[in-house]
Structure formats: C-alpha cells, structure tokens
Chains A and B, each alone.
Chain A
Amino acid sequence: NAGVTQTPKFQVLKTGQSMTLQCAQDMNHEYMSWYRQDPGMGLRLIHYSVGAGITDQGEVPNGYNVSRSTTEDFPLRLLSAAPSQTSVYFCASSTVVRANEAFFGQGTRLTVV
C-alpha cells in the first residue's frame, strides 16, 4: 500500500518554464488536493478535487492548473514558472469516510531561478 506518491522530490526550473508535478494515490479517496508550504505561512490550498472530472480553486490558484481524469491521479501544472512559485508542494488525499483525514505525499521542493 503506497499511499500518496509525489514526483519529483526536487526540481529546479528557469523562469518561464512549465512543468507538471505528479501525484497518485491508491486508497480510492474521493478528495485530492495540492498545497504549497512557505516559511511562516503554513500550508495553503492551491486546487482541489472532490472526484474524477471535478476540480476547483483553493486559496492561491493563480499560475497553476489541475485536472482529474481518474480517481488515482491529480497532476499539478505550472504554466509559466515564476520565482514566487519557489516553494514546497504537497499533494494530499482524503475521504469523508475517515472524517477528511488527509494523507500526504513526501513533498516536492521546487526552486524557480
């Protein structure tokens, strides 16, 4: 049972480049979400999904895109990377059956230069 798997663990991008952070879960959870973590800011919700084919914006969605074609996968796309997107990104999955307890991936440390 792998839980939530995020790739890559580390990434350096140049300003203007695009990339996709991958996230997969094997727990059949209906919720999946992406957070970014910045010092002193806690975790802030970027985008989330309540099921396949359904996505919505969180607190800080600008510059990011998501899609959810299957229950298992929830990739996060950076359209044109900016230094302000330097952060640690976490993917999480959860289910109302477990009172929304979130299971997190190990994170992706992204640096935009």
Chain B
Amino acid sequence: AQSVTQLGSHVSVSEGALVLLRCNYSSSVPPYLFWYVQYPNQGLQLLLKYTSAATLVKGINGFEAEFKKSETSFHLTKPSAHMSDAAEYFCAVSHYGGSQGNLIFGKGTKLSVKP
C-alpha cells in the first residue's frame, strides 16, 4: 500500500530564509508525486508534480522539489521565503490507473513566515 509521511506538522521560518518541507513516500512501484498548497479557507492548488521525467521539478511561486528514489523522498524547497508563502502544504502520491489512481495525502505541514 502506498503512503506519505510529512515530517513536521508546523514549520516556522523568517522572511528571506530557506523553506524546506519534508515528504517521504512508501510505494512498491514508481509513483507520481505531488505538492499542493492550501491557503486559509480555500481549496487545494497544485504547486508541482513528479511524473518520472526530470527528478528536479520546478513549480509555481519559486518552489521546487527533488525526487530521490534511494531515499524515497520528495522534499519541497524555496530559497527565500515570502510572507505570502504562509499556508498549509500537502504532499501526495498516486500511481497509474485503477484504484491506485487516487491521491493519498500526507497530514500536511503548516508553514509560518515571520517578518
């Protein structure tokens, strides 16, 4: 069965500092991996996705994530945090087709950005 673990339910950084949100997955076959962002009282918006092409994936708002098969990780980074990055971030995994086409989500990491 596939699963996702996000380390740290809350992460706090200063404005301008590096953002690092951790995600590890469990999967017996090559996965599709996603990062979504949720701003307060809103739905989920896709930041980026990995689909077995390039291992370094660039997304919106300056975020990027690197797929590391040996570490079963897909950590999200941004070189310089902005106040507008404060939100909750979700990592998710799925596979091609059938019942495994659904996204399985981690529990989320709430990012706070201090001025």
Contact = CB atoms under 8 A, between A and B. Distances in A.
Contact of B49 (A96, A99, A105): A99
B26 interface: no
| Candidate in A58, A104, A105 with the most chain B CB atoms within 10 angstroms | A104
Contacts of B103: 33, 43, 45, 92, 94, 100, 102
Contacts of A74: none
A26 interface: no
Contacts of B44: 43, 90, 102, 104
A interface, size bucket: 20 to 34
A52 interface: no
Interface string A10-42: 000000000000000000000101010000111
A99 B43 contact: no
Given A96-B96, A101-B34, A106-B42, A42 B101 contact: no
Contacts of B105: 35, 42-44
Contacts, number: 64
A99 B107 contact: no
A84 to B, nearest CB: 18
B61 interface: no
A84 B99 CA distance: 26
Interface of A: 31, 33, 35, 40-45, 48, 50, 56, 58, 90, 92, 94, 96, 99-102, 104-107
